[in-house]
Structure 1
Amino acid sequence: MKIVLINPPHTAIGSRIPDDHLPPLGLLSVAGPLIDDGHDLSLIDAEFGPMTIAEIIDRITANGPDLVLIGHSGSTSAHPTARAIAEAVKRSDPAIRVVYGGVFPTYHWREVLAETEAFDIVVRGEGEETMRRLAGALAANRPLDAIAGIAYRDGRGEVRATQPAQAIADLAAYRIGWELIDHASYSYWGGKRAVVMQFSRGCPHLCNYCGQRGFWTRWRHRSPELFAREIARLYHEQGVELINLADENPTSSRKAWLAFLEAMIAENVPVQIVGSTRADDIVRDADILHLYRKAGVVRWLLGMENTDEATLALIKKGGAKTTDREAIRLLRQHDILSMATWVVGFEEEKLSDLWRGFRQLLSYDPDQIQALYVTPHRWTPFFRIARDRQVIETDIRKWDYKHQVLKMRYLNPFVLIACVKLIEVAVQARPKALVRILFHRDREQRHSMRWYTQMGRRVWFHEVLEFLFRRRHLKNGPTLENFWGAPQDDEEESMLRPQRHIKSLDAAE
């Protein structure tokens, strides 16, 4: 079959403001197995430009595909654009089948297929094996009801869903279709040639607001040695300088992560690694952090989410303020940058709560801060907790963590954004932070910090101007449940557990 993969142009601030773009890992992960099965694939990465829908359709028409596959990593806020593309595809050629995948359609497949006939099939959960089977069935004109992990409209126009697919047990069985991209077009961290990769999938922790934990069903990791070898190959053959890990928690297993660090050191390639992990894993690994840095790790985003113990308990974060502070200290000791995420809106904060949070952030002394707004997902347990709160933003393109979407009882939107923006400035522009940006002993880290500061400044002004001139919040909006529908945390796990037990799944190793 002739298949076109589409990465929609994302409206989120993080996609539009930076000059850098990263390749769409999800689509490339699905592409590899399809290419190996003999299908003819091409990729339209509409983030560049960004491309208009008319330009996307022209590219699709030029390819003349049998199948169009649409997916985006920011799938909730990208959904309106994905839908517009799908509807334009159908208008241009109704015979083209449109397949839709990602986290949002995995859980909202009922609504997705009910709101428009432009999407023919939704892939639920991991796409590598499901898409192989789906493409094979479509090419041979076989029935779809035997393919696990999809939802579709049958010949009578009725929406049907098959049983969930099983999560992939052996991640090494599926390769990434790197040949679909020009590596020279993708960069990060201030112009460094970069790719997105995954060492692991899933997370063993119980944070109740996380929209990714249930999607991956269970924590699994790749072969540490093979993963390091692939990174080295990308460096030698494509000049890749930086790896952005898309894992939720790559360090869950100390044993597996240590094996990866040692394999990277053995490969001896000057590749930098950035990603996200937990503060308690950093403290756990205090004795091997020198290996983190030697292997190329230069920055960790630490998902601290909040600085209030009661809030951390509410969202079942499982962390502690003392651990968060110690993790940042340890990272700095080993010349690894720390970025602390701080989320407002989990509870009905007052000004005094924000002041206390600000003081706590100062005591943490992170190198960078990313201030976010709580953005509940219907398939998470936190959605049930917040179901009666009012929605003030009904444009789901703004449900990207960088916009306030839920009403606060004590703080109106103007006061909240003013506090958040002032806190960002105060944390990033404090004397300690400025000294590090200007005089950090590591030249590469100085470059990284200056690049992030430059991007942060551009985003900061964009957010303020957008709030003042382009946003209109509802004063009496619908409840969260009325807006999205009933909680579906009973469906949180999108796939069945892997059949084959893998020893490395034990995060306590």
Structure 2
Amino acid sequence: MKILFLHPHGSNWLGTQKDISTIFNLMPPLGMMSIAAVLEREGFAVELIDCYGAPAEAPALAGEILRRNPDLVAFSCTTSSFLEGNRIAELIKERRPQVATVVGGAHACTIGPSLLDSFPAIDYLVIGEGERTMLELVRSGLRNPEAIPGIACRIDGKGTLTSPRELIGNLDELPFPAYHLLPRFPGRYNLPLFSYPKAPNTSIISSRGCPYRCSYCDRSVFSQGFRFNSPEYIVEHVAMLNRDYGIRHVFFYDDLFTFDRSRVAEFCDLKERRGLKVGYNCIARLEHIDAELLALLKRSGCWQVNFGIESGDPEVLRKHRKFFGLDEVGRKLQMVREAGMRVKGLFMIGLPGEDETAIRRTIEYGLSLPLDEINITKFTPFPGAPIYRTIGDYGTFREDWDLMNCLNFVFIPTGMTEDRLQSLYDEFIRRFYHRRQIQLGYASMLWKSPHSFLIFMRNLPEILTFALRQGW
């Protein structure tokens, strides 16, 4: 059996504006690549098309897929890319109905079997982790899918979940993701501009799940627990990327890279002893940070630490996540700076319960923190997030899947308007990046991150057009 994996892009970014997001950041689809690696290890013929790395319209994609003559097309879809994935599946079925289609990813896991009742071009869903489920589905030759845990299929014409799939207990049993299936890896892919010192670079996910219960987070794929690769596995993963692809910097894209302190300490020690000259970034929670841990991270090559701050309004924070004293945040961030690493703050605008006063408090708070850069997302109530169930109590929600990508205001809190939210969003970005110390910091990237500067200058006309249009 020949399997083709497809990672749809989604048809919208910022409404009708041109999508320039992949200029700033393009990471490989690690989830699909992990499943593909498992199937390859078992002897199956596998191909992968990443539409972020090579964008194309749905008819052209369907034609290319059929030219490759797969038996099964496996889509990995977020909420914003699901409808495009379905359009491609429809085109495939119109021309070659015997080709089977399966959809996995966050959207399939959150909506569940009912998707099959509304989208007849999709034959199966993978609910939860995909490695074992896809392997069993392919091994069966698509016969008796109702006997395979973690599958949603049609039984008596109705979408039905077979039974839950148990989580993989030992993540080290999985092969490294199939990076070789990306024709333009690593050259076409890069971490967020100015967030790395060297290229080529890429991302790694070394854990799954999260024990925290933030209102806005979807945990439907990997659940609430916390599982992780061993330090030995992670170091071998980094070493492989360096040896086989020349990777010089990685981003550990785990939500909780620093959650298990002993794992982090052993990783740092092993990496140092191996003499592995690959730098890295990671995401951390503020409650995990202390001087000893920061010294370990810095000594083993950490260049930047990202923190989810979300809001500067304590009452808003208490409603949506485990509260961490705002007075402590600045002190912890300063510790990271003093340890010699860059600091990036992650914020949201438009959370349920926010009004203009709360958002302005977030803006002023963000400007007061010792941050090198920020990322601001537009709050989106995804179907798998706890807040989704009661979102109508807090404002107006336009559930347009194409636009649910954290780059459009699909939810408007009570008392706010979309125009006002956008104005405050733009103000936050403009005021943060127009400050002299931030601009001097980016000027230093000419020698600290020359690859970023080269990409930025190469795409300067498009970037300036977009920034002027946004009023930044």
**TM norm structure 2:** 0.89
Q: Is the 8 Å Cα contact of residues 382 and 404 (structure 2) preserved in structure 1?
A: no
Structure 2: unaligned runs, 5 residues or longer: none
What is the deviation of 1:423? Answer: 1.4
Measured at CA, do residues 335 and 311 of structure 1 come closer, stay the same or move farther in structure 2, by a change above 3 Å?
Answer: same
What is the deviation of 1:122? Answer: 0.2
Q: Is the 8 Å Cα contact of residues 207 and 318 (structure 1) preserved in structure 2?
A: no
Distance 1:11 1:423 in 2: 27
Amino acid at match of 1:379: G
What is the deviation of 1:454? Answer: 10
Q: In terms of mean alpha carbon deviation, does 386-395 or 331-340 score higher?
A: 386-395
- 1:159 is matched with 159
Distance 2:220 2:288 in 1: 17
Q: Is the 8 Å Cα contact of residues 23 and 186 (structure 1) preserved in structure 2?
A: no
Amino acid at match of 2:332: A
Measured at CA, do residues 461 and 210 of structure 1 come closer, stay the same or move farther in structure 2, by a change above 3 Å?
Answer: farther
Amino acid at match of 2:133: T
- 2:40 is matched with 35
2:307 to 289, 302, 306: 302
Amino acid at match of 1:31: A
Q: How do 1:202-241 and structure 2 match up within 5 A?
A: 202-212=209-219, 215-241=222-248
Measured at CA, do residues 17 and 439 of structure 1 come closer, stay the same or move farther in structure 2, by a change above 3 Å?
Answer: closer
Distance 2:110 2:259 in 1: 26
- 2:181 is matched with 180
Q: Is the 8 Å Cα contact of residues 22 and 52 (structure 2) preserved in structure 1?
A: no
SS at match of 1:145: helix
2:73 to 61, 68, 71: 68
What is the deviation of 1:459? Answer: 6.8
1:374 has 2:379 as partner? yes
Q: In terms of mean alpha carbon deviation, does 34-43 or 18-27 score higher?
A: 18-27
Measured at CA, do residues 238 and 214 of structure 1 come closer, stay the same or move farther in structure 2, by a change above 3 Å?
Answer: closer
Distance 1:213 1:93 in 2: 32
SS at match of 1:108: helix
Q: How do 1:6-25 and structure 2 match up within 5 A?
A: 6-11=6-11, 13=13, 16-19=20-23, 21-25=26-30
Q: How do 1:14-413 and structure 2 match up within 5 A?
A: 16-19=20-23, 21-72=26-77, 75-137=78-140, 139=141, 142-154=143-155, 156-175=156-175, 176-182=177-183, 183-189=185-191, 190=193, 192-212=199-219, 215-282=222-289, 285-391=290-396, 393-413=398-418
SS at match of 2:35: helix
Measured at CA, do residues 390 and 307 of structure 1 come closer, stay the same or move farther in structure 2, by a change above 3 Å?
Answer: closer
Distance 1:44 1:68 in 2: 10
Q: Is the 8 Å Cα contact of residues 352 and 395 (structure 2) preserved in structure 1?
A: no
Q: In terms of mean alpha carbon deviation, does 42-51 or 446-455 score higher?
A: 446-455
Distance 1:259 1:449 in 2: 34
Q: Is the 8 Å Cα contact of residues 203 and 219 (structure 1) preserved in structure 2?
A: yes
What is the deviation of 1:180? Answer: 1.6
What is the deviation of 1:48? Answer: 3.1
Measured at CA, do residues 457 and 434 of structure 1 come closer, stay the same or move farther in structure 2, by a change above 3 Å?
Answer: farther
Distance 2:314 2:459 in 1: 31
Q: In terms of mean alpha carbon deviation, does 286-295 or 412-421 score higher?
A: 286-295
- 1:505 is matched with none
Amino acid at match of 1:63: R
- 1:444 is matched with 448
Cα RMSD, aligned residues only = 2.8
What is the deviation of 1:461? Answer: 6.0
Measured at CA, do residues 463 and 446 of structure 1 come closer, stay the same or move farther in structure 2, by a change above 3 Å?
Answer: closer
**TM norm structure 1:** 0.83
Distance 1:214 1:310 in 2: 29
Distance 2:295 2:10 in 1: 37
Number of matched pairs: 459
Amino acid at match of 2:258: T
Distance 1:209 1:429 in 2: 30
Distance 1:371 1:185 in 2: 27
Q: In terms of mean alpha carbon deviation, does 264-273 or 8-17 score higher?
A: 8-17
Distance 1:417 1:460 in 2: 19
SS at match of 2:413: coil
What is the deviation of 1:35? Answer: 0.9
SS at match of 2:412: coil
Q: Is the 8 Å Cα contact of residues 13 and 403 (structure 2) preserved in structure 1?
A: no
Q: Is the 8 Å Cα contact of residues 167 and 217 (structure 1) preserved in structure 2?
A: no
- 1:485 is matched with none
What is the deviation of 1:455? Answer: 8.7
Measured at CA, do residues 31 and 410 of structure 1 come closer, stay the same or move farther in structure 2, by a change above 3 Å?
Answer: same
Q: How do 1:423-438 and structure 2 match up within 5 A?
A: 423-438=428-443
Structure 1: unaligned runs, 5 residues or longer: 468-509
Q: How do 1:452-467 and structure 2 match up within 5 A?
A: 462=466, 465=469
Q: Deviations for 1:289-325, whole angstroms, at most 9, x for unmatched residues?
A: 1321232222222111111111111012332212321
Identity rate of aligned residues, in percent?
Answer: 23
Distance 2:311 2:372 in 1: 16
Distance 1:453 1:424 in 2: 20
Distance 1:290 1:453 in 2: 34
What is the deviation of 1:380? Answer: 2.5
Measured at CA, do residues 91 and 390 of structure 1 come closer, stay the same or move farther in structure 2, by a change above 3 Å?
Answer: farther
Q: In terms of mean alpha carbon deviation, does 429-438 or 14-23 score higher?
A: 14-23
Distance 1:225 1:331 in 2: 26
What is the deviation of 1:460? Answer: 8.9
What is the deviation of 1:451? Answer: 6.9
Measured at CA, do residues 371 and 337 of structure 1 come closer, stay the same or move farther in structure 2, by a change above 3 Å?
Answer: same
Q: Is the 8 Å Cα contact of residues 234 and 267 (structure 2) preserved in structure 1?
A: yes
What is the deviation of 1:47? Answer: 1.9
Q: Is the 8 Å Cα contact of residues 312 and 358 (structure 2) preserved in structure 1?
A: no
Q: Is the 8 Å Cα contact of residues 36 and 178 (structure 2) preserved in structure 1?
A: yes
Distance 1:335 1:148 in 2: 48
What is the deviation of 1:355? Answer: 2.4
Distance 2:468 2:89 in 1: 32
Distance 2:364 2:395 in 1: 29
What is the deviation of 1:213? Answer: 6.9
Q: Is the 8 Å Cα contact of residues 10 and 47 (structure 1) preserved in structure 2?
A: no
Q: Is the 8 Å Cα contact of residues 146 and 153 (structure 2) preserved in structure 1?
A: no
Q: Is the 8 Å Cα contact of residues 313 and 359 (structure 2) preserved in structure 1?
A: no
Q: Is the 8 Å Cα contact of residues 307 and 344 (structure 2) preserved in structure 1?
A: yes
Q: Deviations for 1:59-93, whole angstroms, at most 9, x for unmatched residues?
A: 21221111000104xx0111111111111111121
What is the deviation of 1:255? Answer: 0.6
Distance 1:331 1:267 in 2: 25
Amino acid at match of 2:441: R
